[in-house]
């Protein structure tokens, strides 16, 4: 049976060994929404921090406003800012670094065929034209179904990305 001294010594050695097995620090913080406490007269945006390669510390990156502040309802602003946040997180996971050029990553993200299809989608009725010209999320399903009908081989994720970039003027 081990003595108290042996148990404490063993625990101390284990703690000492694992002290140098610290987890690797993340290069970025999760993107967050700034909603100005729900006040629509103030600017809403998405913000995050990224580890500065020179200092090794997290530094706040310029917030992304996009087109969010043009919307006049909380739901619309939250909808578009959530899309921004989701896309920023996806890019960060893929290796986006705001302190470097990301030409290779941008090249992978851009699909010219989808851009062309979304640009050529025209409303067939007056009702669809009114929906497409409204700055609301209700036009997204109509555009998505039109693109899917014209080009069924394009994935839903790429269609949604291109609709956000082309129609909502969201730069992701």
- 9-18 pLDDT, tens per residue? 666 555 555 5
Q: Of 118, 136, 142, 133, which Cα lies nearest the Cα of 70?
A: 136
| 47-87 tens-digit pLDDT | 999 999 899 899 999 999 988 999 999 999 999 999 999 99
Query: 136: domain range?
Result: 111-172
12 lies in some domain: no
19 lies in some domain: no
Q: Which of 100, 133, 154 is the last residue of a domain?
A: 100
Residues 6+ away with beta carbon under 8 Å from 138:
131
Long-range contacts of 120-124 (CB under 8 A, 24+ apart): 121/146, 121/147, 121/150
**Are 127 and 71 found together in one domain?**
no
158 lies in some domain: yes
The domain total for the chain is: 2
Max Cα-Cα span within the chain: 86
Report pTM. 0.53
**Are 90 and 115 found together in one domain?**
no
């Amino acid at each position: 049976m081990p003595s108290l001294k042996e148990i404490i010594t063993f625990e101390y050695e284990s703690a000492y060994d694992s002290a140098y097995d610290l987890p690797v620090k993340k290069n970025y913080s999760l993107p967050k929404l700034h909603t100005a406490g729900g006040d629509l007269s103030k600017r809403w945006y998405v913000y995050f921090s990224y580890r500065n390669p020179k200092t090794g510390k997290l530094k706040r990156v310029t917030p992304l406003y996009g087109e969010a502040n043009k919307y006049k309802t909380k739901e619309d602003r939250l909808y578009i800012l959530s899309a921004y946040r989701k896309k920023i997180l996806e890019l960060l996971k893929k290796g986006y670094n705001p302190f470097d050029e990301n030409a290779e990553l941008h090249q992978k993200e851009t699909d010219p065929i989808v851009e062309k299809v979304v640009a050529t989608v025209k409303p067939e009725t007056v009702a669809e034209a009114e929906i497409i010209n409204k700055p609301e999320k209700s036009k997204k399903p109509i555009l998505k179904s039109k693109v899917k009908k014209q080009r069924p081989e394009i994935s839903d994720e790429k269609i949604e990305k291109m609709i956000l970039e082309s129609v909502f003027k969201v730069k992701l």
